[in-house]
Amino acid sequence: MKVNDVVTYAVEGSIAVITVNSPPVNALSNAVRQGVASAVETAIGDPAVGAMVLICEGRTFFAGADITEFGKPPVEPTLRNLQLVVENATKPVIAAIHGTALGGGLELALVAHYRIAVPSAKCGLPEVNLGLLPGAGGTQRLPRIVGVEKALDLMTAGSPVSAKAAKEMGLIDELAIEGQLRADAIALAQRVLDEGRPLLKVRDRTEKLDEARGKPEIFADFRKANARKFRGFNAPEAIIRCVEASLDLPFDEGMTFERQLFNELQADSQSAAQRHVFFAERQAAKVDSLPADTPILPIAKVGVIGAGTMGGGIAMNFANAGIPVTLVETNEDALFRGLRIIRGNYETTAKKGKMKPEDVDTRMGLLTGSIAMEDLADCDLIIEAVFEQIDVKREVFGKLDRIAKPGAILATNTSYLDIDDIAAATSRPDSVVGLHFFSPANVMKLLEVVRTKDTKPEIIATAMKLAKTIGKIGVLVGNGYGFVGNRILAARNTQADQLILEGATPWAVDKVLYDFGFAMGHFQMRDLVGLDVGWNPKTTSSANVREILNEMGRHGQKTKGGFYDYDENRKQTPSPVAMQVIEDFAAKQGMTRRDISDAEIQDRILFAMVNEGARILDEGIASRASDIDIVWITGYGWPKYRGGPMFWADLQGLPTVLDRLKALEAAHGAAFTPSPLIERLVAQRKGFKDA
Ligand code: T1G
C-alpha cells in the first residue's frame, strides 16, 4: 500500500517490506523520513509481521540527507528521530543496500539491526566533502562497528568503500546476489526471525572501542599523518574530536557532542562554500542554452596530434576510458619518446597499486602511433596539442580539414590563442571547438570546453558529455583571451609582478596565498610550471624580471633556480639572486621600494581576480559565476572551503568589494576599475550568485 508519494508498504509472509522511491538518489527528504517512520510504526503494530526490510528503488539506497533542505527549519521526524524509531523497533529491521549508501543514508542503515548489500554497492560517510561531519550518529556508531582507526579513515577521506570491504570490516552483515537484493533481504529477515537472533544495537557495542582505549597515539599519529591534507579545513578535526568522544563519553553524551560540532560546522562559511561547490560542479555540466534533445555524436575513435607532455596526457585520458587513440607526431623519435613516457606513467601508477599491472598493456594497446596525419581520417574527434603559435595551429587545422572525415570534431588544446582564428583555417568552423586541458592532462580534473562564434550545438553537447566520459569536470567557456582560468591567472600575475617591484618579496606574496589556502604560492607555481613557458630566447630583451631570470638560465624548479633556489629534493629557499634581480629592475624603473602589508597583498591579488571574473561574466565568456568558481577550484587550486573567487566575493559582500576596488583603482590604476557588472549588482542589492 502507498504510505505516501515516495514510500510503499507490503507484507510478504511475515516480513514487511518498506520500499522508498524518491528520485534521483532517494535523499532523506521530509517526505521520505515521514513515510519511512510511518511504515516502520505500521510494521511494529502489525501482528502478522515478525521483521521488516527497508529497501530503495531506483539507482541507490538513501544517498544521504537532502542537501537542498539544509538551512531550512527542521521538519519532523528529523533524521535523528527517525533513527530512534528504527533503532528502538521491537521487531528486527534489515537495511537492504544497493548503489551508494552515503551520509545519513548509511547512518540510517547503522540503526537497523542487520545490513545486507549487493556486491556492486558502496558505503560511505562523505559529509567531510561538504564541510560537515556525519551528524546522525555516524561519528559515534561507526567506531563501534568498524573500530576507531577505520572510522577515522572513512569519515575524513569522504570516499565510499565497496560492499566487499564493508563486509570485511563488519559494516554490513551479508552480501546479496547481484540483482536479487529484495529476495535475499527478505530471506535474511526470515532467518533472523527463525533463529531468534537478538535485536543488535550498534550503540551498545563496545568491543571495537575497547581495542583503542588507552592508545592516544592513534589520534596523535592520525593528525600528524594528515596535517597537510587537512590544512585549513575545519571538518576533519571536528570528526577526529567526535571519534575521541566516542571513546571518552557515554553514547548519548557523545551524540550531544556530535550534534554541537555538527551545528558549528553547518553554520560555518566553509560548509556553505563546499555545498556551493557540490552543486556548482553539477551545474557546470549543464548547458542551459542547449535544447535537451541536442544530439550527442558518437566518439568511437580519437586522434591526438602531438605526443609531447600535453598530447601524451590527453591521449591517456581516452585510453583510460577505453577509447582507441591514434597519436601522431612529426617524426619517429618524438613519437616513440611520447609513447615511452605514457607507458612509464602507467607503470608508475600500477606500481602505486592505483591500476592493475595488466591494464598497462591494455591501455597501451589502445594507443596507435603514427607520423602521418592521414591516419586520422577515420577519427570522430581529433585534438591538436602542437606548439602554441597561431601559424602552426592554423597550418595543422588547414591540413586536418582536408584529411578528417565529414562530421569529425576538430579540437584545439590551445591555452590562449583565438580559436575563431584557428577555425577560420578550415571549411568547417562550426565543427571546431576548444578542449583546454590542464597539465598534467591525465591528472587535472578541469577541462575548459571553448565554444567559438560558430561551434554548433551538437559539438558542444558532445564535448561536454565527453568530459564526463573521461572523468573530467567540463566547463563551457567563451573564446576570449585566456578563456576563464588563464585570464584570471593573468590578472593575478600582473598584481604579483607589480607587488614584488613595489616592495613585497615573492616569498611574502606566496605566504599570503598559502595561508589563504592555496596549495602553493604564485611564484612557487611559476617556478614549477617553468619560467621559460612562452619565453623566446631569440626575442628576449630583459623587459621584465621573468625575462631576466630566463636570460640568466634561471627557468625555475627544473634548473634548480628561478624565483627560488631548489636543492636536490626540490626543496625551495628564497633566492638572494632573484631578489637582487628584482631590486635592480625596480631601481632601473625608478621605483622606490616600500614595505607592503600582507593585507594589501591579499586585497590586490584577490580583488583583481574577482574583478576579472566579473568582467568575464559580463562579457558572457562564462555563463555562471559558479562556473568561474569551479574553474579556479579544479584547475588552479583555489581552496575548496572558500568556494571559489566569486563565492568568496559574495561572502565579503559586493558593496565591500566595490569599495575596495575603488580604493585600489585610485592607488593602482585600471586593473581595479570596477566591472560594470559589480556596480549593477550592488545597485540591485544582489550578489554574483544572482548574476
Ligand atoms: N541531496 C539532494 N540532492 C542530491 C543529493 C543529496 N544528498 N545527492 C545528489 N543529489 C542530486 C544532485 O544534485 C543531482 O541533481 C542528482 O541528485 C544526481 O546527482 C546527517 C548531513 C549520490 C554519488 O554527500 O555523492 O547526509 O543535478 O549528478 O554522479 O550526516 O550525487 O540531477 O538536479 O551527483 O550519479 C551526504 C552526495 C549528505 C552524497 C550520485 N551525502 N551525492 O552521483 O549523480 S549530508 C552526500 C553524491 C548528510 C548526515 C549528513 C552523488 C551520488 P540534478 P549526481 P551521480
Residue 583 is a catalytic residue: no
pLDDT at 154: 97
pLDDT at 533: 86
Q: Is 132 in the pocket of ligand 1 (CB under 6 A)?
A: yes
Q: Which pLDDT band holds residue 520 (cuts at 50, 70, 90)?
A: very high
Q: Is 130 in the pocket of ligand 1 (CB under 6 A)?
A: yes
Residue at which a domain ends, from 422, 446, 479: 479
Q: Is residue 85 part of a domain?
A: yes
Average pLDDT in the 432-448 region?
96
**Angle made by CA atoms 230, 143, 255, in degrees to the nearest 5:** 90
Distance between start and end Cα atoms, the chain: 46
Residue whose CA is closest, atom 27 of ligand 1? Answer: 282
Instruction: Quote the ligand 1 centre to 27 CA distance (angstroms).
Output: 7
Q: Is residue 489 part of a domain?
A: no
Percent of the chain surpassing pLDDT 90: 96
Instruction: Quote the ligand 1 centre to 103 CA distance (angstroms).
Output: 10
Average pLDDT in the 465-485 region?
97
Q: Which pLDDT band holds residue 70 (cuts at 50, 70, 90)?
A: confident
Residue 551 is a catalytic residue: no
Site to probe by mutation for ligand 1, drawn from 67, 80, 123, 125 as the one with most ligand atoms within 8 Å of Cβ, is: 67
Average pLDDT in the 662-666 region?
98
Q: What is the pLDDT of residues 482-499, one digit of tens each?
A: 999 999 999 999 999 999
Where do the DSSP E strands lie in 273-396?
Answer: 302-305, 325-328, 367-370, 381-384
For the chain, how many structural domains are there in total?
3
CB 488 within 8 A of CB 628: yes
pLDDT at 6: 98
Instruction: Quote the ligand 1 centre to 25 CA distance (angstroms).
Output: 7
Q: Is 136 in the pocket of ligand 1 (CB under 6 A)?
A: yes
Q: Is 281 in the pocket of ligand 1 (CB under 6 A)?
A: no
Q: Is 103 in the pocket of ligand 1 (CB under 6 A)?
A: yes
Residue with cell string 522511491:
21
Pairing state between β 302-305 and 325-328: parallel
Residue with cell string 577550484:
633
Of the residues 107, 258, 329, 600, only one is catalytic, namely: 107
More confident of the two residues 246 and 74: 246
What CATH number is attached to the domain comprising 566?
1.10.1040.50
Q: Is 444 in the pocket of ligand 1 (CB under 6 A)?
A: no
Instruction: Quote the ligand 1 centre to 67 CA distance (angstroms).
Output: 7
Same structural domain, 53 and 186: yes
Q: Is 286 in the pocket of ligand 1 (CB under 6 A)?
A: no
Percent of the chain surpassing pLDDT 70: 100
Q: What is the pLDDT of residues 102-145, one digit of tens each?
A: 999 999 999 999 999 999 999 999 999 999 999 999 999 999 99
Same structural domain, 515 and 465: no
Q: What cell does 586 get?
A: 625596480
Q: Is residue 496 part of a domain?
A: no
Taking 90 as the threshold, does the pLDDT of residue 71 lie above it? no
Q: Is 261 in the pocket of ligand 1 (CB under 6 A)?
A: no
Same structural domain, 314 and 404: yes
What CATH number is attached to the domain comprising 413?
3.40.50.720
Q: Is 291 in the pocket of ligand 1 (CB under 6 A)?
A: no
Q: Is 67 in the pocket of ligand 1 (CB under 6 A)?
A: yes
Q: What cell does 300 get?
A: 568511437
Q: Is 128 in the pocket of ligand 1 (CB under 6 A)?
A: no
Instruction: Quote the ligand 1 centre to 124 CA distance (angstroms).
Output: 12
pLDDT at 534: 82
Q: Is residue 651 part of a domain?
A: no
Instruction: Quote the ligand 1 centre to 47 CA distance (angstroms).
Output: 37
Residue whose CA is closest, atom 55 of ligand 1? Answer: 25
Instruction: Quote the ligand 1 centre to 626 CA distance (angstroms).
Output: 18
Instruction: Quote the ligand 1 centre to 143 CA distance (angstroms).
Output: 24
Q: Name every residue whose Cβ is closer than 8 Å to that of residue 357 and which is 6 or more positions away in sequence.
A: 350
CB 108 within 8 A of CB 134: no
Same structural domain, 252 and 397: no
Same structural domain, 241 and 359: no
Same structural domain, 22 and 163: yes
Average pLDDT in the 512-535 region?
94
Average pLDDT in the 412-439 region?
96
Same structural domain, 400 and 530: no
Same structural domain, 460 and 529: no
436: β partners: 448
Q: Is residue 108 part of a domain?
A: yes
Average pLDDT in the 189-213 region?
95
Average pLDDT in the 506-527 region?
97
Q: Is residue 492 part of a domain?
A: no
Average pLDDT along the chain:
96
Same structural domain, 322 and 422: yes
3-state secondary structure 162-179: EHHHHHHCCCCCEECCCC
Residue whose CA is closest, atom 9 of ligand 1? Answer: 25
574: β partners: 564
d(CA 643, CA 630): 8
Q: Which domain holds residue 315?
A: 302-479
Instruction: Quote the ligand 1 centre to 63 CA distance (angstroms).
Output: 6
User: Could you tell me the pTM of the whole model?
Assistant: 0.94
Q: What is the pLDDT of residues 365-396, one digit of tens each?
A: 999 999 999 999 999 999 999 988 999 999 99
Q: Is residue 278 part of a domain?
A: no
Same structural domain, 508 and 472: no
Q: Is residue 289 part of a domain?
A: no
Q: Is 131 in the pocket of ligand 1 (CB under 6 A)?
A: no
Q: What are phi and psi of 9, to 5 degrees?
A: -130, 130
Residue at which a domain ends, from 560, 588, 616: 588
Q: Is 285 in the pocket of ligand 1 (CB under 6 A)?
A: no
What CATH number is attached to the domain comprising 175?
3.90.226.10
Q: What is the pLDDT of residues 41-51, one digit of tens each?
A: 999 999 999 99
Residue 66 CA: nearest ligand 1 atom is: 1
Q: Is 263 in the pocket of ligand 1 (CB under 6 A)?
A: no
Residue 134 CA: nearest ligand 1 atom is: 30
pLDDT at 564: 98
Residue whose CA is closest, atom 53 of ligand 1? Answer: 282
Residue at which a domain ends, from 240, 267, 294: 267
Q: What are phi and psi of 118, to 5 degrees?
A: -80, 155
Of the residues 87, 127, 258, 612, only one is catalytic, namely: 127
Taking 90 as the threshold, does the pLDDT of residue 320 lie above it? yes
Instruction: Quote the ligand 1 centre to 393 CA distance (angstroms).
Output: 41
Spell out the alpha helix ranges (H) of 46-111: 79-87, 104-109
Residue 130 CA: nearest ligand 1 atom is: 24
CB 403 within 8 A of CB 376: yes
Same structural domain, 395 and 529: no
Q: Which pLDDT band holds residue 660 (cuts at 50, 70, 90)?
A: very high
Same structural domain, 224 and 318: no
